[in-house]
Amino acid sequence: MAEFELKLPVQKNHVFEACHHVVKALRASDNNLDANLRKLLSDLESHLSTFGMVDTEVEDTGFSKIKDRFEEAEKTILGWEQNQSMILDAGLSEADQFFQALYEVQTVLVGFKALPIKANQKEKDVYNQATVALDIAMLRLEKELCDVLYQHKQHVNLEYLAVSSRGKDIAYNDESFVSLDDEVVVEASSHEDDDEEILGFQNADLVDPLVVPHVKAIANAMFACDYGQAFCRAFNNVRREDLEEYMFFTLEMERFSFVDILQMEWENLNGKMRKWTKVLKIITRIYLPSEKQLCEEILGEFDSVSTSCFVEISKESILSLLNFGETVAMRPSQPEMLERFLSMYEVTSEILLDVDNLFPDETGSFLRMAFHELSKKLADRTIATFLKFKDAIASNESTRAFPGGGIHHLTRYVMNYLKLLPEYTDALNSLLENLEVEDSITEITGQDTLPSTFSPMAKHLRSIVSTLESSLDRKAQLYADESLKFIFLMNNFHYMVQKVKGSELRHLFGDEWIRKHIARYQRNVTNYERSTWSSVLSLIKDSNDSVATLRERCRLFGLAFDDVYKNQTRWSVPDPELRDDLHISTSVKVVQSYRGFLGRNEGRIGEKHIRYTCEDIENLLLDLFECLPSPRSLRSSRRR
Amino acid sequence: MRPAQDNQGSFLGRISIRRNQFVDVNNEQEQEDLELFQRHIADRFTELLSHPPQQPPSDEANTVSPVATTEQIMSVTWLRKLMDVFLCCEAEFKAILLMGRDPTQISKPPFDRLVPEMLDRSIKALDICTAVVNGIDSVRHYQRLAEIAVAALEQRPLGDGNVRRARRALANLVVALSLEDKENTSGGGGGGGGGNKTTERSWSFGRRSGGSSAASKGGATIGQLKSSSWAVGRNWSAAKQIHAMTANLNPPRGNEAAGLPQPMFIMSTVMVFVMWVLTAAVPCQERSGLANHLPVPPKHLSWAQSLIGIHEKIGDEWKKKEKKGSAGLMEEMTRMEKLGHSLIEFADAFHYPAEKDASESAAAQVAEMAEICRRMEEELVPLQQQIREVFHRIVRSRAEILEVLEQAGKLSAPVV
């Protein structure tokens, strides 16, 4: 392929011709030439004549040669004007021929412009024809450029980049904080399956590398002929459309007005925010560096042109991404937006370096700055939302006791929410660094302590959970039944511990926190047992009562047990292990006491006065905390 | 502790009593502020209206006014001034609205209605800002076309090829300048096709729909692509947005006319007006009926006189242009279009070698075109920046007002 260069190896003929013209022009310009100069000129003339070039005859042949060659070139160019197929497809030699023709035309123009004075009509005509031929050739190249770029474009087509918000939007549907009190919250689907990280940031080829030299040749030719602006316009248009197509169709990004975004339903917006985060990452980390590389490959030789083209190509799409971020940051912060804000903040802070590299100089500085501003805004917004999240927990009040003493949806919501946060550890730590908070455990340092346990994020998370605990304590006060209060607290604290232990949160909350909280729910177990069973079991304590009293105590025990059974089978301990443990420890206590009581007194009381066997009690105890809809009818068969 | 608390209570009580007593004094101060605000608005717009040395209306012939003042109404310099005026008015207004004011005051009727309405208007203004910034990019594209024409026509000796090149750029330029919709600006190369307005697009669409299989891969149709090139969402209309901004924009009556509702009305009017001017000045998405969408404030209001004057001028111009189609009323664009037509005529009549007279008059026009390009080069980007500044200011003010309202909400919340 012909490399078209500005520094044309000017042909001999031309030089001679030019010199000849210069001499003639100088002579003609002034009759009173200085003697020295006159001498110089005639020397030069004689030198030139030794090459046999100066006489008019030769001049004519020189010109006619040029004219012939020009006409040949013109024919080539006009041929391609009619031919709509790509020059590229015609093969190397054809392309070469075209660029060669262009070079001939350019030679005529440059030559003529160097010596326009006293050109004869024939020469002038050739010049004029050459301007037309050049323009035709340039227009043809512009079309060639668009066709080549268009037909050989390649998209970033990597599977792991697939963007989809399917299913993700649903996960949050019923998590709206506002309606928490009435709805059962489906556990938040975790974030992990969401986006596979964008592996590596290697640049992609946005245009087939095989055609890049051809495009470069077009650029060189058009810039050499002073059609650089036309090249840039065409190049930018195709590349910009390509970027827009990629962003708005392949990645399915949408454009919204401010009004749209500010009025958008949260569930809907949530999906858009996810998509934005992902698109922003792909565009700034893969697409734009690739685009920049393409611009540099093709236009790198023309100083700032490649930069300004790159800015021109990417500006509109980038601004539209920025606008979305800005608008979202204008929405009043709702606690449920925390995770989205976190991920938006995280991505903007992560890509700042990439953006700085993309737009290192003045031309794109406004874009660079806009990204930094956006990142700052999102940081503020995220902190505000974080605090709001805590406020919302603090101010979450119930008017009625939570039925069954199970796991309150606030606990579920908060813990599942917190579980999502370790993914944003770096972002959160930097955001919360300067925000004072009261910690629930004392800071200790030592070999056994992970540094993460006393990171700003860890302190804040513990503080959020403390807020949750206070709220739960208030909710617990609403129970009329003391025992149920303990079950409620036990359930919720156990749930919290499980969530922490079973996730990345354990490194943040730390062993001490976990120990303390295990102790806390175990205390609730003890408290429960005491408050429910102490009085019941006191009925069958050892004593030297009369038969009648023994019978009465046995009867009362049966009634008390019925009562507990009726109530507590409706209570809920959702965790099967915890429930088993509770069954076992209750069983050990109750059955043992009962067995002892019967063992000692069965004979005296008489079988017909004994309502439950030990086996009955053991079996019935298994029904407790099963959250039965209505009390199971107790077998009265034994009551004869 | 007890006595201290009591003291505090009565102390606060005393303050609130004192505040009530001082209400009249405050009112007087406020009245003064309001009057000053109105006077400033009037002054600023009077300056905007009167600044250009009045130009004789140029007749329909191709005479291009030789001296075009830079500060003519709707010139890019004037638009920049307008942005400054807006920023000043806004700053002053915000001071009146928020400074030293009891937050609960602006959350009580009638402000519980007026403030949200105003905030709503300001969000709509943000969309306009985005669309206009985008529109200015289009103007930059026109500028590039004009520059190509200028560069080609400055060639000496001027050959048929140079003229051919210039004519092509000019044809694209005048078509772009007379098209209402923004779509013409984003597509097409600087050189495609001749003077016919569809050539450029159809050529590039041809590529899309036919030819390459890559084109259809994304399933992108022309219509989709067109809408994707809009800065604001699909179906968005600048004219409708302006219209929506004027909803509920009524001069305060009765008691309200003397108080805070008055400057709120003024500021809203100024905002809608400025957005309307910008929309008319540069290409903008969907503007039919734009001239009808601005309710003129009552003529008796002293601050409104000049604003009404400017509005009438621009409105007349818009109606004239709307009939034949126009990308915008920016003075430079108008002149560019005129010069473009006249240079196309020159190009059509051109025979190599150039005749002296014709090429001299053309040279003057080329020089004027070059001058317009230079001014655009100097001022369009700063204008864009100013509009972004307006944008950010609106965002900030909105946040500040919301913050005050939130405070007010806390203050007025029933204490349990």
Please report the residues numbered 253 through 282 in chain A whose beta carbons come closer than 8 angstroms to any beta carbon of chain B: 254-260, 262
Nearest CA in chain B to A229: B148
Instruction: Place A3 in a pLDDT band, splitting at 50, 70 and 90.
Output: very low
CA distance B385 to chain A (A): 9
What's the longest Cα–Cα distance across chain B? 104
Please report the residues numbered 284 through 323 in chain A whose beta carbons come closer than 8 angstroms to any beta carbon of chain B: 315-316, 319-320, 323
Instruction: Please indicate whether residue A211 or residue A183 has the higher confidence score (pLDDT).
Output: A211
Contact list, B214 vs chain A (CB under 8 Å): 150-151, 153
Structure confidence at residue A122 (pLDDT): 85
Round to whole Å and give the CA distance between A395 and A71: 88
Contact of B127 with chain A, judged by CB distance below 8 Å, is answered with yes
Structure confidence at residue B116 (pLDDT): 92
Q: Is the pLDDT of residue B313 over 60?
A: yes
DSSP state of A207: B
Instruction: Place A29 in a pLDDT band, splitting at 50, 70 and 90.
Output: low
Instruction: Place B193 in a pLDDT band, splitting at 50, 70 and 90.
Output: very low
* CATH 1.20.1280.170-classified regions of chain A: 226-386, 540-623
| Mutation target among A108, A135, A149, A269 for the B interface, most CBs of B within 10 A | A135
CA distance A79 to chain B (A): 17
| Range A18-25 average pLDDT | 66
Q: Which residue among B124, B157, B191 places its CB closest to the CB of A139?
A: B191
Percentage of chain B modeled with pLDDT above 90 = 44
Contact of B97 with chain A, judged by CB distance below 8 Å, is answered with no
Please give the backbone phi and psi of residue A586, each rounded to the nearest 5 degrees, phi first.
-65, -45
What ipTM did this prediction achieve?
Answer: 0.80
What integer best gives the mean pLDDT of chain B? 78
Contact of B204 with chain A, judged by CB distance below 8 Å, is answered with yes
- Residue found by looking up tokens 């208007």 in the block: B121
Of A313-327, B115-129, B178-192, B238-252, give the lowest mean pLDDT range: B178-192
Q: Is the pLDDT of residue A172 over 80?
A: no
Please report the residues numbered 338 through 397 in chain B whose beta carbons come closer than 8 angstroms to any beta carbon of chain A: 352-353, 385, 395
Contact list, B176 vs chain A (CB under 8 Å): none
Contact A135/B165, CB-based, under 8 Å?
yes
Contact list, A330 vs chain B (CB under 8 Å): 395, 398-399
Q: Copy the structure tokens of residue B107.
A: 């959350």
A576: how many CB neighbours lie within 10 A of its CB? Answer: 8
Contact list, B151 vs chain A (CB under 8 Å): 226, 229
Q: Is the pLDDT of residue B11 over 60?
A: no
Percentage of chain A modeled with pLDDT above 70 = 80
Contact A230/B353, CB-based, under 8 Å?
no
What integer best gives the mean pLDDT of chain A? 83
Instruction: Place A111 in a pLDDT band, splitting at 50, 70 and 90.
Output: confident
Q: Is the pLDDT of residue B305 over 80?
A: yes
Q: Is the pLDDT of residue A531 over 70?
A: yes
B359: how many CB neighbours lie within 10 A of its CB? Answer: 18
SS (H, E, C) A321-360: HHHHHHHHHHCCCCHHHHHHHHHHHHHHHHHHHHHHHHCC
Q: Is the pLDDT of residue B2 over 60?
A: no
Please give the backbone phi and psi of residue A626, each rounded to the nearest 5 degrees, phi first.
-90, 5
pLDDT digits (tens, 9 = 90+) for B258-304: 788 999 999 999 999 999 999 999 998 888 778 777 777 888 888 88
Burial class (CB in 10 A: 0-12, 13-18, 19+), A57: exposed
Instruction: Place A303 in a pLDDT band, splitting at 50, 70 and 90.
Output: confident
* Closest to A595 (Cα-Cα) out of A609, A608, A611, A614: A614
Q: Which residue among A153, A258, A319 places its CB closest to the CB of B126?
A: A258
Q: Is the pLDDT of residue A129 over 90?
A: yes
Structure confidence at residue A440 (pLDDT): 73
Beta bridge partners of A245: none
Name the CATH superfamily, with its identifier, for domain A540-623: Exocyst complex component Exo70 (1.20.1280.170)
Q: Which residue among A142, A151, A257 places its CB closest to the CB of B236?
A: A257
Burial class (CB in 10 A: 0-12, 13-18, 19+), B41: buried
Structure confidence at residue B14 (pLDDT): 43
Structure confidence at residue A628 (pLDDT): 80
Contact of A134 with chain B, judged by CB distance below 8 Å, is answered with yes
Structure confidence at residue B292 (pLDDT): 76
| Range B184-200 average pLDDT | 35
Of A262-276, A405-419, B43-57, B252-266, give the lowest mean pLDDT range: B43-57
Q: Which residue among B231, B236, B402 places its CB closest to the CB of A320?
A: B231
Three-state SS at A153:
strand
Contact of A334 with chain B, judged by CB distance below 8 Å, is answered with no
Q: Copy the structure tokens of residue A537.
A: 């079991």
Structure confidence at residue A49 (pLDDT): 56
Contact list, B165 vs chain A (CB under 8 Å): 135, 138
Round to whole Å and give the CA distance between B55 and B73: 10
| Mutation target among B117, B119, B123, B213 for the A interface, most CBs of A within 10 A | B123
pLDDT digits (tens, 9 = 90+) for A582-593: 999 999 999 999
Of A177-191, A364-378, B18-32, B380-394, give the lowest mean pLDDT range: A177-191
Q: Is the pLDDT of residue A235 over 60?
A: yes
Q: Copy the structure tokens of residue B222.
A: 């022309």
Structure confidence at residue B61 (pLDDT): 43
Q: Which residue among B127, B156, B187 places its CB closest to the CB of A258?
A: B127
Structure confidence at residue A332 (pLDDT): 83
SS (H, E, C) chain B: CHHHHHHHHHHHHHHHHHHHHHHHHHHHHHHHHHHHHHHHHHHHHHHHHHCCCCCCCCCCCCCCCCCCCCCCCCCHHHHHHHHHHHHHHHHHHHHHHHCCCCHHHHHCCCHHHHHHHHHHHHHHHHHHHHHHHHHHHHHHHHHHHHHHHHHHHCCCCCCHHHHHHHHHHHHHHHHHHHCCCCHHHHCCCCCCCCCCHHHHHHHHHHHHHCCCHHHHHCCCCHHHHHHHCCCCCCCCCHHHHHHHHHCCCCCCCHHHHHCCHHHHHHHHHHHHHHHHHHHHHCCCCCCCCHHHHCCCCCCCCHHHHHHHHHHHHHHHHHHHHHHHCCCCCCHHHHHHHHHHHHHHHHHHHCCCCCCHHHHHHHHHHHHHHHHHHHHHHHHHHHHHHHHHHHHHHHHHHHHHHHHHHHHHHHHHCCCC
Round to whole Å and give the CA distance between A253 and A243: 12
Long-range contacts for A291-299 (Cβ within 8 Å, ≥24 apart)? A291/A206, A291/A239, A291/A243, A292/A358, A293/A203, A294/A206, A294/A207, A294/A212, A294/A239, A295/A239, A297/A212, A297/A216, A298/A212, A298/A215, A298/A216, A298/A219, A298/A235, A299/A219, A299/A235
Instruction: Please indicate whether residue A281 or residue B19 has the higher confidence score (pLDDT).
Output: A281
| Range A206-233 average pLDDT | 94
Q: Which CATH architecture has domain A226-386?
A: Up-down Bundle (1.20)
Structure confidence at residue B184 (pLDDT): 39
| Range A444-453 average pLDDT | 71
pLDDT digits (tens, 9 = 90+) for B118-163: 999 999 999 999 999 989 999 999 999 999 999 999 988 899 999 9
Round to whole Å and give the CA distance between A393 and A411: 9
Structure confidence at residue A162 (pLDDT): 43
pLDDT digits (tens, 9 = 90+) for A592-631: 999 999 888 888 888 888 889 899 999 999 999 988 876 5
Of B110-119, B280-289, B344-353, B376-385, give the lowest mean pLDDT range: B280-289
Q: Is the pLDDT of residue B346 over 90?
A: yes
Q: Which residue among B161, B190, B229 places its CB closest to the CB of A135?
A: B161
Nearest CA in chain A to B167: A135
CA distance B33 to chain A (A): 30
Q: Is the pLDDT of residue A251 over 60?
A: yes
| Range B372-378 average pLDDT | 96
Instruction: Please indicate whether residue B348 or residue A446 has the higher confidence score (pLDDT).
Output: B348
Contact list, B159 vs chain A (CB under 8 Å): 127-128, 130-132
Plot region of B59 (φ>0 → left; ψ -120 to 50 → alpha; else → beta): beta
SS (H, E, C) A230-262: HHHHHHHHHHHHHHHHHHHHHCCCCCCCHHHHH
Q: Copy the structure tokens of residue A83.
A: 């031919």
Beta bridge partners of A572: A626
DSSP state of A188: P
Structure confidence at residue B26 (pLDDT): 63
Nearest CA in chain B to A239: B187
pLDDT digits (tens, 9 = 90+) for A544-567: 778 888 889 899 999 999 999 999
Contact B353/A124, CB-based, under 8 Å?
yes
A74: how many CB neighbours lie within 10 A of its CB? Answer: 22
Contact of A200 with chain B, judged by CB distance below 8 Å, is answered with no
Nearest CA in chain A to B236: A257
Contact list, B217 vs chain A (CB under 8 Å): 155
Structure confidence at residue B51 (pLDDT): 59
Beta bridge partners of A153: A207
Please report the residues numbered 219 through 258 in chain A whose beta carbons come closer than 8 angstroms to any beta carbon of chain B: 226, 229-230, 233-234, 237, 240-241, 244-245, 248-250, 254-258
The helix-helix angle for A305-330 and B356-412 (nearest 10°) equals 30
Q: Is the pLDDT of residue A187 over 60?
A: no
- Residue found by looking up tokens 């030299």 in the block: A213
Rg, chain B, Cα only: 27
Instruction: Please indicate whether residue A219 or residue B199 has the higher confidence score (pLDDT).
Output: A219
| Range A395-419 average pLDDT | 92
Contact A133/B161, CB-based, under 8 Å?
yes
Buried/exposed B320-356: b ≥16 CB within 10 Å, e otherwise: ebbeeebbbbbbbbbbbbbbbbbbbebbeebebbbee
